Structures are given as C-alpha cells and as structure tokens.
Amino acid sequence: MEIIPKPKRKLPSPEIFFLYFSISIFLILALFFLRLWSLEKLKTKELSQIEEKISTLKSSPKSLEEEVVLKYYRKIPAFSNLIKDFFFPSKIFSYLEKNTHKKVYFKSAEIDFENSKIFLSGQSPDFSSLAQQLEILRKGPFSKVDLKEVSLGKEGKAEFKIEINFEKGILK
C-alpha cells in the first residue's frame, strides 16, 4: 500500500525530444567542423612545404646547369661561324715538318699573315740537299718559293734564307 501516491511517469514531450536531438546534432556538427578546420590547416601547411620544395628544385644546381648548357647551345652557331673563317697557322708547321729534307733543318721561322709570307732560315750540309728542299717546297701548296740568301757557314755547311708566299686558303 502506498501512502504517497507516486506520480505517473510521463513520456517526454516532443518539444523536449527535439530539443535534445537538435543539441546533439549541433554538437556533432561543431565537432565535425573543428575536425575539418584542423585538417584544412594541416593540408595548408603540407602544401606550403611542397611548394617550397618545388621552388628549391627549380633553382637547384640541376636547373642552373641546364641554363648554362642552354647558354652554350645558343652560342654554338656563332662559334661555328667563327671557326669556319679561322686560320690555323699550325697547318704550315705540320706541312713543313712532313716535307723537310732529312739533311736540312730550319733554325727559325717567321710568318707574316697580313702579307701571306713565311721567312725560313736554316742550314744544309750541302747545296744539293738545299736544292732538293727547294723543289719539295715548290711542289707543295705554296704559290711562290724564293731562295733569298745563301752563304757558306761554319764547317762548310750551306746557310740559307727562304721566302715563301702562300694563299690564306691553305690555312683553313
């Protein structure tokens, strides 16, 4: 038996149910928003790090080397035009080295590129070797070979001076 009657249990009203439901939805959305906001900050930081890496790679030594290579690549046509018109004086010396008589040797050589002349002075054991050397030079690519001076040197050797005219085309 009950002395104090208990009130009957009441079912929650729809308004209270919707209140709790809307508060729980609000809290869930707030937590979801905070999670998305933290993810956005994290991804922004990662993106800035990646962009920094890209900028360092763009200015890396590899790209600097590429710029140097491109610079030289652009200069090659100009250089090839220069080298096409360049004279190689060493061609004269290699020719003289190959076509010098075995008994003749040259003491000095002067080259005048403006007048296209070579002045050689040397020594030969006899005049016949000198004559053979002159014939070898006259058969070469030179336009004119002149014996300018001949004298009898020490020990009976022939000392000479030769002037050679050449065309600049043989130096290319």
Report pLDDT digits (tens) over 57-69: 776 666 677 888 8
**pLDDT over 70 at 1, yes or no:** no
**pLDDT over 90 at 160, yes or no:** yes
**pLDDT over 70 at 2, yes or no:** no
Lowest-confidence region among 4-8, 96-100, 129-133, 145-149? 4-8
Non-local (6+) Cβ contacts of 97 within 8 A are none
Q: What angle do CA 133, 135, 141 make, to 5 degrees?
A: 100
A 10 A CB-CB count for 118 gives 21
**Highest-scoring range by mean pLDDT, 47-51, 75-79, 111-115, 126-130:** 47-51
Side by side, the strands of the sheet bearing 105-112 are 105-112, 117-124, 158-165, 144-152
8 Å CB contact between 95 and 166: no
Lowest-confidence region among 22-26, 37-41, 86-90, 142-146? 86-90
**Highest-scoring range by mean pLDDT, 23-37, 44-58, 79-93:** 23-37
Q: Which residue has the tokens 């922004």?
A: 44
Give tens-digit pLDDT for 46-57: 999 999 988 877
> Which pLDDT does position 171 carry in this prediction?
67
A 10 A CB-CB count for 100 gives 16
